[in-house]
Amino acid sequence: MAEVYETDRPRRHRGRALLVVLLVLLVLLAVGLVALDRFGASYAERVLADRVAEEVRNQKSTSGQPEVTIAGVPFLTQVLAGDYQEIHIEVPDLTTPTGTGETVAMALLDIRAKDVNAPLDTLRTGQGDVVADSVTGTGTVEFAQLTGLVGPEGAKLSEKDGKLIGSVPVKIPGQNSLELSGTAALTVDNGTVRVRFSDVTAPDLPDNPLIQNLVSSYAEQLAFDLAVPELPLNLVLQDVQVLPEGLKVTAAAQKVTLSAGGV
């Protein structure tokens, strides 16, 4: 009788082993690419953060170290092309002069730069410009800082139903102390937030012409202007919104140089 040898089973084992090895190699390659992608992103983020910090200092402002996050994946395709979908920049503890001897402070200036051109050689050598097609920045000036701009002693600012409320205690002759309050109208004019109060009144306020004139004078004293200083990246004030903690300002700019070559 002729002997019969089983040859299919060893071949199947070898085929499965090769498949396993191939899958392991593919997984390792994918992990390596992801790690390389994240490393490249982190490097570019650090470089951009340093250059934005330099721009802040050039404007005689101070801040904490900016934090940069580059959106979009995979990152390497963006860095090789030199074009980034969106860059998120957080500038903490920003203090910047108004040019009139005063300063404006923001706990955080949140910047979104879109369609950013940053060639790889520029990031590597520091030579050349990093330019964003559009940039939007938002930050909040807290009421505690704004109160110093209001004239009458004891004046307070607060938010109610999305509106700015100003109040001040007054002593009117022949009357008990009253708490006058009014709603402010906010306008943006050439980089300045103008705050003007109307309908200033108090509960049980007597209908007396002299008292009404006194109230009107307090309404004028409550008015103030917030001169928003030059912001980093040439951001220009566009809008202001009342929040429970203060005034949120929104600034924007087009074709912005995030950092200039040779800085």
* CA 97, chain centre distance (Å): 18
Give a yes or no: residue 26 inside a domain.
no
DSSP symbols for 111-155: EEEEEEE--HHHHHHS-S-EEEEEEEEEEEEEHHHHGGG--STT-
Say yes or no: 56 and 109 in one domain. yes
Buried b (16+ CB within 10 A) or exposed e, 15-39: eeeeeeeeeeeeeeeeeeeeeebee
Owner of token pair 């409550």: 222
65 and 133 assigned to the same domain: yes
pLDDT value, residue 136: 93
Give the sheet arrangement for strand 163-170, strand by strand.
Answer: 156-160, 163-170, 178-189, 192-201, 224-227
pTM of the predicted model as reported, rounded to 2 decimal places: 0.71
* pLDDT tens profile 126-176: 677 778 899 999 999 899 888 877 777 788 899 999 999 988 888 776 667
Query: How high is the pLDDT of residue 16?
Result: 55
User: What is the residue range of 84's domain?
Assistant: 33-140+250-259
Query: 87 forms bridges with which residues in the sheet?
Result: 70, 113
Q: Is 180 within a domain?
A: yes
Please, which residues have CB within 8 angstroms of residue 177's CB and are 6 or more apart in sequence? 169, 170, 171
Same domain flag for 156 and 191: yes
- In tens, the pLDDT along 40-75 reads 667 777 777 777 777 777 777 888 888 888 776 556
Please give the tally of structural domains in the chain: 2
